[in-house]
Amino acid sequence: MFFKTILTAGAIGLLSTASYAGCGINSGSVRIGGNDFPAYQAVAEAASQCSGGGVSVSVDLNKDHKDRQVASLTASPAEFTSSLANNSALSALMNDGLVRPLNNLIAKHASGLQDMQFVTVDGEVMAIAYMANAQHLFYRSDILDAAGVAPPKTYEEVLAAAKTIKDKGLMEYPIAGTYAGWNLGLEFINMYLGHGGEFLRVVQQNLL
C-alpha cells in the first residue's frame, strides 16, 4: 500500500522485482514499516534489493507497528514512506487520509496482477492483496466408516455427517476447531459471505 508522502518501495516489492538496477527510482529514501511477519519480510527483502545508486531503502518490521503506524505516518517528516498493513489496519489509515489510490501505479507497473487482488473503495484501488490464508479440514476416516458416511465435500455435507455421527453416539462433538478468538470469527465471516450473506440491510422508514 502506498501513502501520500512518496512513491514507495512497496510498488517494487509487490509489482515488479525483476529489475534490480534502479527499480524505477533514481534517488531518494524509501522507508518501509510493517508488522514482523514472514510474508512482509519477503516483500521487504525484495524491496531492499533496490537500494543503491542514490536510493536508500530501510526496513522496520515490528510487532507493534499497527499501534504506531498512524502517528509514524502523520509526523512531519513521516517516519515511513510506506507501510505493510493487514486488512484490520487499513481502515484506520484510510480514515486519516493516509492512503492514496493506486490506479495510476497499477496501470504503469501491474500488468501481471489479477482484478481479484485489488481492494477497491468507490472505484479507487486503495490496496493490493498479495497473500491468502489456507485453511485445512481434517476428518477421521474410521469415524466416517463407522457412521456409514462418505467424506464430505461441502459445508452442508459436513453438518449432515456431524449430525449422523452424533446421533449414532460415536462422538459428542463431531466438529472441532484448533483455534479460538478472531480466527473463529474470520472463519464464520468467510462462510457467511461465501454463501451469499450480507452484513447490512437498508431499511426505509417514512418519517412524519
User: Rounded distance, CA 79 to CA 32, Å?
Assistant: 9
Where residue 173 falls among pLDDT bands split at 50, 70, 90?
Answer: very high
Cβ contacts of 82 within 8 Å, gap of 6 or more = 1, 2, 3, 8, 9, 10, 30, 31, 32, 33
Cβ contacts of 56 within 8 Å, gap of 6 or more = 28, 29, 30
Region 68-73 average pLDDT: 88
Three cell numbers, residue 184: 473463529
The upper half-sphere exposure of residue 40, i.e. CA atoms within 13 Å in the direction of its Cβ, equals 18
User: Rounded distance, CA 193 to CA 198, Å?
Assistant: 7
Which of 3-17, 21-35, 108-122 shows the highest mean pLDDT?
108-122
- Cα 16–Cα 20–Cα 21 angle in degrees, nearest 5: 120
User: 200: alpha, beta or left, given left = phi > 0 and alpha = psi -120 to 50?
Assistant: beta
Where residue 174 falls among pLDDT bands split at 50, 70, 90?
Answer: very high
Region 119-125 average pLDDT: 89
pLDDT at 204: 65
pTM: 0.56
Task: Kindly tell me if the per-residue pLDDT of 154 is higher than 70.
Answer: yes
Of residues 35 and 206, more confidently modeled: 35
pLDDT at 206: 63
Task: Kindly tell me if the per-residue pLDDT of 139 is higher than 70.
Answer: yes
Three cell numbers, residue 155: 459445508
pLDDT at 127: 86
pLDDT at 82: 84
Q: What integer best gives the mean pLDDT of the chain?
A: 80
Three cell numbers, residue 110: 501491474
Where residue 2 falls among pLDDT bands split at 50, 70, 90?
Answer: very low
Task: Kindly tell me if the per-residue pLDDT of 7 is higher than 80.
Answer: no
